[in-house]
Amino acid sequence: MIRIATLLLSVCFISSLAAQTTAEKRIDKSVDSLLKLMTLDEKIGQMNQYNGPWAATGPLTNEGNLVGQIKEGKVGSMLNVTGVKRTRELQDLAMQSRLKIPLLFGQDVIHGFRTIFPIPLGEAASWDLKAMEAGARVAAVEASAAGVHWTFAPMVDIARDPRWGRVMEGAGEDTYLGSLIAKARVKGFQGNGFGDTASVMACAKHFAAYGAAVGGRDYNSVDMSLRQLHETYLPPFKAAVDAGAATFMNSFNDINGIPATGNKYIQRDILKGQWKFKGFVVSDWGSIGEMINHGYSKDNKEAGMQAANAGSDMDMESRSYIQHLAALVKEGKVKMAVVDDAVRRILRKKFEMGLFADPYKFSNENREKTQWNNPQHRVVARDIAKKSIVLLKNEKQVLPVSKQTGSIALIGPFVKAKSDHLGFWSYDWPDDSTRIVSLWDGVKSKVSAQTKMLYAKGCGITELDKTGFAEAVETARKADYVILTVGETRDMSGEAKSRSSIQLPGVQEELVKEIVSLGKPTVVMISAGRPLVFNWTADHAPAILYTWWLGTEAGNAMADVLFGDYNPSGKLPMSFPRTEGQIPIYYNHYFTGRPAKNDSDRHYRSAYTDLSLYPKYAFGHGLSYSSFEYSEIQLSAPAFHAGQSLTATVSLTNKSKTAGTETVQLYIRDITASVVRPVKELKGFSQVTLAAGETRSVSFTLTADDLRFYNDQLQYIYEPGKFKLFIGTSSDNVKEAEFELK
């Protein structure tokens, strides 16, 4: 009987594959027959993307008659056009073109649309892949209800330099975690596939290595070995391809001397060649034309030639293709086959989205209304927001705060902040003042009717005025407990927001000193889009919560953690430097020939003589109201062969009276290899929730594939030899074992 069932199953499987192929074949047939009808100008029109006339996310040129060009089929896509009304208005124009090819509407839906979620770096601190997928799902439902077909997300750039403002947009410094998060976000955005009006096309960006800009200066050059590119920066993009990402966006930076937009190696050899990517690549805003500034193109025409030949399928706001590509084809500098391939890729997505069947499919008033204030979306947002908060410090159990506390002073420039909690790449709506939950609102919703809530702003965020200190100190003196909020503004991180100083801005740390020195039970809450430097606070405040930018539900999530309704579980996705001079600093560095063993061993060592070796807070660091105890590691065997596997187990005990969730992390180190290997590499993690006093075994299984790396021939291999294996609560607090791959 079983054999018949297996046979039936395999027939279904093969036929489902065949069915998929049939659907793909049907679309390819439609694309080919449409392509045959198109003039060269109409083909180039599909490769042309303009910003809408209502909002901009880049330097606008506003040339030309947009309405006329859409009617003539010279525009394939628009960005920054949202809402059923506006998308219908422009789609109407496209339906007046000769071939009625629908427009694609793209939008930066980076961490929410109507309901704003924590910034992606904050979400990454949750290490909760399902929660991140759920957040992207909500964003897709809300954006697609507003006529958006395509989000320019997820940003999957690995970044090791917190001076770069766009660290807020990614998943931090680790390739393994970043790859899993890339996959989760693509799945969340694209849901059950493009035919579904509650899904949008994802766009893995910025291809590639944009996060490695020299000096953390946005748009700056990137120069690295191909081995480093393949080992650290490309895997999250490959994960996005494997997850079915519909599109890619290239990056502003040059890579090893060739601008990404004109870089055949990454766009054609790797992405469309090795990885067999079937979607299309959109340039970043004006990045084709910017190759003139790079000194790579003599003019916009040459830039268009280089970009098209290198695999950039769609031109965002350079106007290079629409102005020069026809001539380039006629002059034989760009083959028609290059244009046809780009147009096929774009048209295929429009067919897959069902836009030819119904160009107005996503512009549905009723769906826009129902999704616009869907209460369930706030539940999802609050869930991941509270999981994103990282407890950096909690001496003398200052946290959680009792809801029955007699009086609580809330002090600092973010106590009543609302829009600042949205972070960069978010949207301001007219009802934000009632929709966004401030810290004050959140605390008020938790405390008893008898609790007195006191408030003093103390100081601004960037201002140097200290006249508010006296009132703040007075207010703190009167209270039983102090909640102090500091940080950077929502616009101090994000695109074009690189900063040479990442200290707490203004006089905020002086305010912290004044308040903490009173010796009251005090928690400092830090809102930021990146790791900041706050050494005095870190060394003296009894408790610190890092809250990133948590979005619409910020105040509720912060209050959930403050009062213990949620036991904090966040873990840092980036190392926190002690000072800017320590950057770049990341946990998975190489040993070097003179590794310093500790802070006293710094002579003739790869170390600064005037600064600790270690970050202020390590990758993976994050405390809990529970206390988790790790047993020594048990290995299933001391060695294994390729084709076999090894299981590593620890016993985890919650020694406290509070249930909590621990993200158990697994790292390895290849002790000797044909190229130097990092001191640690994250290779797994498991989120374990334990009741008070509960003990549970936590196991990880490794195979030889988990030990692979790129050798100096760019082969992705594993090599027999000895390895260390680490399991623990953060990259700098682990149990250790050793095994051998035979």
* Interface residue list for ligand GLC (CB under 6 A): 57-58, 79, 108, 152, 205, 284-285, 495
112 versus 458: smaller Cβ distance to ligand GLC: 112
Using the 8-state DSSP alphabet, how is residue 116 labeled?
Answer: B
* Nearest C-alpha neighbor of 253 from the set 243, 245, 262, 265: 262
DSSP label at 437?
P
Q: Which of residues 425 and 726 has its CB atom nearest to ligand GLC in the complex? A: 425
Q: How far apart are CA 173 and CA 619, in angstroms?
A: 8
Cα separation, 84 vs 368, whole angstroms: 7
Query: 519: Cβ–Cβ under 8 A, 6 or more apart, which residues?
Result: none
Minimum distance from residue 641 beta carbon to ligand GLC (Å):
45
CB of 344 vs ligand GLC, minimal distance in Å:
23
Helix (H, G, I), strand (E, B) or coil at 404: coil
* 706 in catalytic set: no
**Residue closer to ligand GLC, measured from CB, 284 or 509:** 284
CB 661 within 8 A of CB 567: yes
Q: Which residues contact 611 (CB under 8 A, 6 or more apart)?
A: 578, 579, 581, 582
Which one, 488 or 495, has the nearer CB to ligand GLC? 495
CB of 106 to ligand GLC, least distance (A): 8
Cβ-proximal residue to ligand GLC, closest one: 57
Q: Give min distance, CB of 105 to ligand GLC, in A.
A: 12
Task: Say if CB 502 and CB 580 are below 8 A apart.
Answer: yes
Residue 567 Cα to chain centre, angstroms: 24
CB of 549 to ligand GLC, least distance (A): 17
H/E run at residue 30: helix 2-37
Q: Minimum Å distance from CB 254 to ligand GLC?
A: 15
Closest CB to ligand GLC among residues 173, 495: 495
Marked catalytic residue, from 128, 161, 218, 284:
284
Nearest to ligand GLC of 113, 285 (CB atom): 285
Q: Which residue type does 391 have?
A: L
CA atoms of 213 and 224, how far apart (whole Å)? 10
State the CB neighbour count (10 A cutoff) for residue 359.
Answer: 21
- Residue closer to ligand GLC (CB basis): 30 or 57: 57
Q: At what angle do helices 336-352 and 320-330 cross, to 10 degrees?
A: 140
From the CB of 10, what's the least distance to ligand GLC, in Å? 43
Q: Which helix (H) or strand (E) holds 681?
A: strand 681-690
Helix (H) or strand (E) holding 205: strand 203-207
Host H or E run for residue 325: helix 320-330
**Nearer CB in complex with ligand GLC: 200/447:** 200
- Of the two residues 31 and 81, which places its CB atom closer to ligand GLC in the complex? 81
- The distance of Cα 300 from the centroid of its chain, to the nearest Å, equals 32
Q: At what angle do helices 300-310 and 336-352 cross, to 10 degrees?
A: 70
DSSP H or E segment with residue 369: helix 365-372
For the CB of residue 285, give the shortest distance to ligand GLC in the complex, in Å.
4
DSSP 272: I
Count of helix runs (H) and strand runs (E) in the chain: 21, 27
Is the CB of 210 or the CB of 640 nearer to ligand GLC? Answer: 210
Minimum distance between the CB of residue 58 and ligand GLC, rounded to whole angstroms?
A: 5
Shortest approach of ligand GLC to residue 355 CB, angstroms? Answer: 21
Name the percent of the chain in helix, strand, coil, to the closest 5. Answer: 35, 20, 45
Of residues 285, 268, 347, 295, the one with CA closest to residue 319: 285
Task: Determine the Cα–Cα distance for residues 38 and 381; give it in Å rounded to an integer.
Answer: 45
Closest of 141, 140, 152, 142 to residue 106, by C-alpha: 152
Least Cβ distance, residue 495 to ligand GLC (angstroms): 6
According to DSSP, the residues that pair with 87 across neighbouring strands are: none
Cis peptide before 59, with omega less than 30 degrees from 0? no
Q: Which is nearer to ligand GLC, 111 or 205 (CB)?
A: 205
| Tokens coding 98 | 């000769």
The sign of the CA dihedral 513, 515, 520, 524 is negative
Please say which residue, 34 or 143, places its beta carbon nearer to ligand GLC: 143
As a whole number of angstroms, the distance between CA 254 and CA 557 comes to: 40
CB of 427 to ligand GLC, least distance (A): 13
State the amino acid at position 370 in one-letter form. T
Q: What angle do CA 483, 543, 565 make, to 5 degrees?
A: 70
Q: Omega of the bond prior to 400 within 30 degrees of 0, cis? A: yes
Residue among 337, 293, 343 at smallest CA distance from 318? 293
- Alpha helices (runs of H) in 517-658, residue ranges in sequence order: 535-540, 554-562
Does residue 725 contact residue 668 with C-beta atoms inside 8 Å? yes
Active site amino acids: 284
